């Protein structure tokens, strides 16, 4: 049995030894949640040209100052420029140009934009428009300069970043329609146990329980960077396990998560079966509660390294196995790092078993001046109803049999 920190170090070490290097190309609108496989460098300036940040009037500040010395109040407006206009011809004379938001600045001569609300408008006897300024403009006012947001050659995104919805704004602005990303990891889920029946079974016979963990794992892992296949249920039969494992890996699955049959009972066959197939057991049993019998192994199957997690079948043990073993390994493969805990103050004294790192169902309150967390009643690994009230896991260290109220503890949100 190893300590939890050792198990995490092992998962990270294996992810480095067998890195997930396969890539694929995806459409921009399918890229959210994917992990970039290469840096993205700006090929264009943004904005691509000087343009107006406001509806208003473009002017030359020096010309205004010169004319002001001559006591000229009203400025003639020579033309109107709208967003999307091109091939614009203007005269570089004392005048203003009416300009709309996003419209190109027609010439560097016009070095300031006065907001429409900062001018008075009138027409002369010939119907020509004139403006009078309410405030003195400065050079550069209300002008978006070329490359002010992004310059050619600038690294916008680095390899290993996860694409978010907001990132699409920059990518689309650059005209990028395809992205090279890490290939989605294929995960298979296999439930074991002769007592297990599908979760949608209407009536249970004596001794049967519905399979809650299969559908849970399938939903909890599913995401843009994963292809998840629920491979159903097999009874406690080593031969069936071997047969199903080979079928799953023949389907080019990268990781298998199997529930049940990893403890010390008569029907706990996962470890000996894996060893008989030549798998390397990296650890089996970890000093934690719940989920102590957790197993992690790798196997060279048809020339490719595949990974196997064996987690206990009790539903909360499965949830802990996913959150604190499987997901960190997936993070290491895709990102090179994993989730960091937040800190919170424990709201009441809590008992725990000596020598085991504990992952307890918890309720964390972020509304107080100090973040507080409560370990809920009902910590047995079969008890799922406390998860209805939970929004977090509170983590207690191995040492001690009681954690005192006010202790700063690690918390992971669900």
In 3D, which of 181, 217, 232 has the Cα closest to residue 322?
A: 217
Cβ neighbours for 286, distance < 8 A, ≥ 6 positions apart: 1, 2, 3, 4, 7, 292, 294
CA-to-CA separations, 58 to 127, 146, 265, in angstroms, rounded: 20, 16, 82
Residue 384 has pLDDT above 90, yes or no: yes
As a whole number of angstroms, the distance between CA 236 and CA 233 comes to 10
Query: Between 367 and 156, where is the model more confident?
Result: 156
As a whole number of angstroms, the distance between CA 325 and CA 305 comes to 18
As a whole number of angstroms, the distance between CA 351 and CA 360 comes to 11
- pLDDT value of residue 70: 56
- pLDDT value of residue 265: 74
- pLDDT tens-digit readout, 221-272: 999 999 999 999 999 999 999 999 999 999 999 999 999 999 877 778 999 9
Check if CATH label 3.90.105.10 holds for domain 27-31+35-46+148-181.
yes
Secondary structure letter of residue 222 according to DSSP: -
As a whole number of angstroms, the distance between CA 18 and CA 15 comes to 5
CA-to-CA separations, 391 to 203, 375, 399, in angstroms, rounded: 31, 11, 25
As a whole number of angstroms, the distance between CA 262 and CA 48 comes to 60
- pLDDT value of residue 263: 86
As a whole number of angstroms, the distance between CA 110 and CA 60 comes to 5
Contact between 323 and 201 (Cβ < 8 Å): no
As a whole number of angstroms, the distance between CA 170 and CA 211 comes to 44
- pLDDT value of residue 68: 64
Give Rg (Cα) of the chain: 32
Residue 364 has pLDDT above 70, yes or no: yes
Beta strand extents in 165-239 (DSSP E only):
178-182, 185-192, 196-197, 209-210, 226-234
- pLDDT value of residue 352: 97
Share of the chain above pLDDT 70, in %: 99
Give the pLDDT band (50/70/90) at residue 367: confident
* pTM given for the model: 0.89
Measured in degrees and rounded to the nearest 5, phi and psi for residue 364 equal -105, 140
Cα torsion through 362, 363, 364, 367, rounded to 10: -170
Contact between 313 and 259 (Cβ < 8 Å): yes
Q: Where are the alpha helices (DSSP H) in 182-269?
A: 212-221, 238-250
As a whole number of angstroms, the distance between CA 240 and CA 250 comes to 15
CA-to-CA separations, 191 to 231, 243, 374, in angstroms, rounded: 8, 14, 32
Each domain of the chain, given as residue ranges in start order, spans 4-22+183-334, 27-31+35-46+148-181, 51-144, 342-413
Length of the chain: 414
When pLDDT is averaged across residues 313-339 and rounded to a whole number, the result is: 97
For 342-413, CATH number?
2.40.340.10
- pLDDT value of residue 69: 58
- Asked which of 63-67, 198-202, 252-256, 286-290 is least confident by mean pLDDT, the reply is 63-67
The distance of Cα 51 from the centroid of its chain, to the nearest Å, equals 34
- pLDDT tens-digit readout, 109-149: 999 999 999 999 999 999 999 999 998 899 999 999 999 99
Contact between 364 and 377 (Cβ < 8 Å): no
Give the pLDDT band (50/70/90) at residue 389: very high
Residue 52 has pLDDT above 70, yes or no: yes
Which tokens belong to 159?
A: 């390899």
CATH of 51-144, one of 1.10.10.10, 3.40.50.720, 2.170.190.11, 1.20.1560.10: 2.170.190.11
In 3D, which of 49, 46, 40 has the Cα closest to residue 149?
A: 46
Where does residue 109 rank: exposed (0-12), middle (13-18), buried (19+ CB within 10 A)?
A: middle
- pLDDT tens-digit readout, 89-111: 999 999 999 999 999 999 999 99
Which tokens belong to 79?
A: 């033309």
4-22+183-334 topology per CATH: Molybdenum Cofactor Biosythetic Enzyme; Chain A (3.40.980)
Measured in degrees and rounded to the nearest 5, phi and psi for residue 294 equal -50, 140
Cα torsion through 328, 334, 336, 339, rounded to 10: -40
- pLDDT value of residue 44: 98
Contact between 116 and 54 (Cβ < 8 Å): yes
Contact between 159 and 38 (Cβ < 8 Å): yes
């Amino acid at each position: 049995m190893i300590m939890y920190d050792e198990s995490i170090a092992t998962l990270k070490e294996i992810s480095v030894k067998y890195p997930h290097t396969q890539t694929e190309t995806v459409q921009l609108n399918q890229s959210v949640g994917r992990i970039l496989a290469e840096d993205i460098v700006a090929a264009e300036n943004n904005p691509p040209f000087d343009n107006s940040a406001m509806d208003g009037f473009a002017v030359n500040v020096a010309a205004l100052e010169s004319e002001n010395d001559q006591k000229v109040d009203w400025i003639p407006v020579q033309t109107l420029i709208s967003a999307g206009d091109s091939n614009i011809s203007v005269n570089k004379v004392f005048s203003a140009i009416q300009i709309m938001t996003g419209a190109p600045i027609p010439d560097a001569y016009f070095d300031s934009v006065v907001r429409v609300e900062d001018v008075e408008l009138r027409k002369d006897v010939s119907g020509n428009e004139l403006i009078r300024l309410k405030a003195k403009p400065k050079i550069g006012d209300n002008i978006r300069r070329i490359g002010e947001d992004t310059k050619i050659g600038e690294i916008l995104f680095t390899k290993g970043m996860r694409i978010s919805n907001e990132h699409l704004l920059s990518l689309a602005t650059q005209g990028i329609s395809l992205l090279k990303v890490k290939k989605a990891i294929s995960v298979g889920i296999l439930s074991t146990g002769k007592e297990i029946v599908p979760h949608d079974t209407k009536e249970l016979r004596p001794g049967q329980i519905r399979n809650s963990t299969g559908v849970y794992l399938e939903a909890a892992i599913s995401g843009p960077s994963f292809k998840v296949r629920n491979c159903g249920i097999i009874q406690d039969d080593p031969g069936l396990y071997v047969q199903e494992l080979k079928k799953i890996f023949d389907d080019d699955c990268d990781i298998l998560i199997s529930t049940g049959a990893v403890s010390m009972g008569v029907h706990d066959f996962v470890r000996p079966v894996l060893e008989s197939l030549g798998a390397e057991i990296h650890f089996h049993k970890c000093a934690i509660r719940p989920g102590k019998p957790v197993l992690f192994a790798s196997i060279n199957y048809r020339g490719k390294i595949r990974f196997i997690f064996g987690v206990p079948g009790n539903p909360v043990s499965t949830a802990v196995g996913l959150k604190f073993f499987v997901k960190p390994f997936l993070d290491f493969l895709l990102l090179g790092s994993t989730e960091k805990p937040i800190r919170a103050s424990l709201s009441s004294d809590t008992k725990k078993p000596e020598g085991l790192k504990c992952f307890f169902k918890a309720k964390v309150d972020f509304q107080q001046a100090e973040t507080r967390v409560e370990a809920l009643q009902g910590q047995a690994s079969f008890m799922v109803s406390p998860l209805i009230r939970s929004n977090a896991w509170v983590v207690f260290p191995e040492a001690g049999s009681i954690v005192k109220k006010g202790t700063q503890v690690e918390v992971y949100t669900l």
